[in-house]
Structure 1
């Protein structure tokens, strides 16, 4: 219905293939890195389910997840002759049901924080849009995926991001576009190695800093939320609206955004732009705004370091890897933009995506080896490059091209096109915010050094 479509447009912006700005004719696309937030999900906690808000406690929006085929292993003497080691894989039909505390269940009910049927649809559509852009429009990716060398897919170890990425992969390369015996690989890292979000699990220094920002935001901004109490407190049991309230302001916002994205009616006060803008401004300060270089280095430094190394490796070795798609969270997308000083101070939508595109001057093709020799001789561990006009990086977010402040000076971007940052300038900024020893910097200060 029309109202539902209006709500959707406020919480998700589809990838605009038709409006994609094609690069200048003398630039050739070399590699694409995509960091995308997962699709629509249920709230991560039950909030405002009592009247007068009456937002549903149970979301019956996961029907596609309730029935699936599970890969199981069969062991024993009956399979030893046909499978080495006596193991054979079978597909077993399974129905997954959410059991409530009273033992009851309803077909298609979602877990808290679970990717919904809508979220699966929109992430599949995102993958299809990537296909329309990079396969059909630009001819950058092959029509049929014949091996693993040109693609890379990685997700955080959360069901909603893994399922989102699987849907994106299916949209980009559906089964009819897979070569014989090709099954795209989806990578997930152990928690200690994760860098698609700020890893507070392994970086206690980062955790301490972020908690400090939360407390500071509450102390500085709670008073600005007091005017909302008379309008909104009735929806949260009479409690005041505060950054550190019960529920927390971020929790209220999460429930409202998740509800709106699925067409669930929310109290009219939460549809008032001035009210939501006030809430969102406070949350930006608490979660993302005005963070120090130390927070940026510990939070997003390793991610950007990975990205920089892969771009440099592409330039140095000319490897076949063309597209890298990463499935992450709002807490991955926003800090990434913030670290590069291009964040728009709005909470990332579902399927919001940051894209880094690496280009080269076409006339380099005939002199690639000579350029690489010059490149290899530059600063380690990165390959910085000595000809800043030869390779360029363009950053895009939500169909917008974002010129990077670090590349604003003359000589640090393509002449007349500030959105095309020179690779050397981009990697120089990456080097500035890459931790020299992440584990050491993440360690909390020892008791002796605190005095």
Structure 2
């Protein structure tokens, strides 16, 4: 599937079942894939597909901050237009042009398009409708952004998608100005590529790169000489480079063909491939093989889970446990919503690592996972004056790294385990609840609904593949087998 078709809003009966009266929603963390984009590289120009697409008109004009040295007004803005340049004949520089010779609004490779901006804005509207209008979990207006945790990967389309969703969740009319007349700018957290765990970071984790190559090669060995691949070759073979057969590990790779097919299918007629590229059976085959190539490692290998997505899920659990440890802070400044702009590999990696990816379909553009923490209705604990909610997210001063956020469940004292009692975690993927295998065990879920995992059980599953020193573990086990002799199944 290329673009997500959102389900209809929950009915009142569905909402009552999804959010039982006996549970209080405490914290929501949303991982969202970016919206529709251009292909990450130009492919199939021999089939008439333009290399450059004219779908970025919404960002043809930019503003940049300029330091001018003036004492009265040291910061100014420069408005400018972006145009792309490429190689022409004999490597002469020429302006990149769209299919109708457009030079403005032309997208770079892998850019969020106007459609992608619209779909991620629409996601923000759906989040507002659910968490503000219907559940009244979030306030309708913001006077401070300290109640939000916003994060994005270093990839521009992820950051821009996050900005779109936030702007719909809290439009300008819902941002209340401070006494000085200005609304405080929200903080968006980013990391350097070397530290990034919001996507599977094979570029900065050598061991994970070796693991991913091994599982990709296994997929190639399994699928290249099969009737399904022959079917794809019959459709796409004529468009491949001379001497190149359609294969998992061809150039372009099968996943690259799928990327171009999905990107073109999401956009207009000026950037379409020949009809055979959109054959329904062929697209199903490509997605099924692509899911195995890219994501089977999470399902079968603990080390794959640990290095690929364990750091992120460790952070997700740490924020939930940290909020339990900190209790209810004084005032209204507790963080209620985390929103992270990320990628298809993030979402599938998370779900597969938890044993909850029960599909062969690739995550569509603008897919999202909502990880919701609840507490059983009871008297609230007394206010705390510890590090506060931002401290519970990141750690603060001498308290950083203390507590039970990253402490394995097996090492918790009875009192520490007891602190997690009465808390539940539920995940929804594109608004549909998913269930983790370990949470089906009696005692590990809310009575009557296996999708509500106890926080202790959820933490126990994640603890098993949370890295203790991701950088060091990325350099370990060189030369060791990469595919386990026996599958180490996820979700247990």
What TM-score does the superposition give when structure 2 sets the normalisation length? Answer: 0.81
Q: Is this contact kept in 1: 2:53–2:106, CA < 8 A?
A: yes
Q: CA deviation at 1:69?
A: 2.0
Q: What is aligned with 1:437?
A: 469
Return closer, same or farther for 1:260/1:134 CA change in 2, 3 Å cut-off: same
Match of 2:441 in 1: 409
- How far apart, in 1, do the equivalents of 2:479 and 2:342 lie? 35
Distance 1:379 1:56 in 2: 50
Quickly say closer, same or farther: Cα 1:14–1:446, change in 2 above 3 A. Answer: closer
Bigger shift: residues 232-241 or 136-145: 232-241
Equivalent residue number for residue 18 of structure 1: 10
Matched residue, 2:113 = 116
Q: Indicate the residue corresponding to 1:266 in structure 2.
A: 273
SS in structure 1 of the partner of residue 222 of structure 2:
helix
Output the TM-score relative to the length of structure 1. Answer: 0.88
Residue 307 of structure 1 is matched in structure 2 by 316
The alpha-carbon distance between structure 1 residues 147 and 266, as it changes in their structure 2 partners (threshold 3 A), is same
Gaps of 5+ in 1: 1-8, 370-375
2:345 is matched with 331
Q: Report what 1:372 is aligned to.
A: none
Return closer, same or farther for 1:66/1:189 CA change in 2, 3 Å cut-off: same
TM-aligned CA deviation for residue 368 of structure 1: 8.5
Of 30, 38, 44, the residue aligned with 1:48 is 44
1:58 corresponds to which of 38, 42, 52: 52
Number of the residue aligned with 1:253:
258
- Compute the displacement of 1:393 (Å): 0.4
After superposition, residues 161-200 of structure 1 pair within 5 angstroms as: 161-180=158-177, 181=182, 182-200=184-202
CA contact (8 A) 1:151 1:321 kept: yes
Question: How far apart are 1:160 and its partner, in Å?
Answer: 0.8
The 8 Å contact of residues 256 and 266 in structure 1, kept in 2 or not, is answered as: yes
CA contact (8 A) 2:152 2:340 kept: yes
The answer to whether the 8 A contact 2:3-2:36 is kept is no
The reply on whether 1:38 has 2:30 as its aligned counterpart is no
Deviation at 1:274, TM superposition (A): 1.5
Which residue among 356, 366, 377 is the counterpart of 1:362?
377
SS of the equivalent of 1:393 reads: strand
Match of 1:74 in 2: 68
Matched, 1:97 2:83: yes
Q: CA RMSD in A?
A: 2.4
**Contact 1:394–1:401 under 8 Å retained in 2:** yes
439-448 vs 249-258, which moves further? 439-448
Extract structure 1 runs of 4+ deviating beyond 6 A: 366-369, 376-380, 446-450
Q: How far off is 1:272 after superposition?
A: 2.1
Q: Aligned ranges for residues 151-162 of structure 1 at < 5 Å? A: 151-162=148-159
Corresponding pairs, count: 426
CA contact (8 A) 1:214 1:286 kept: yes
1:447 is displaced (CA, Å) by 8.0
Distance in 2, Cα, partners of 1:190 & 1:377: 27
TM superposition shift of 1:363: 1.4
Q: 1:296 to 1:285 in 2, by over 3 A?
A: same
Find 1:233's aligned residue among 237, 240, 253. 237
Q: Secondary structure at the match of 1:288?
A: helix
Give how far 1:49 is off.
Answer: 1.7
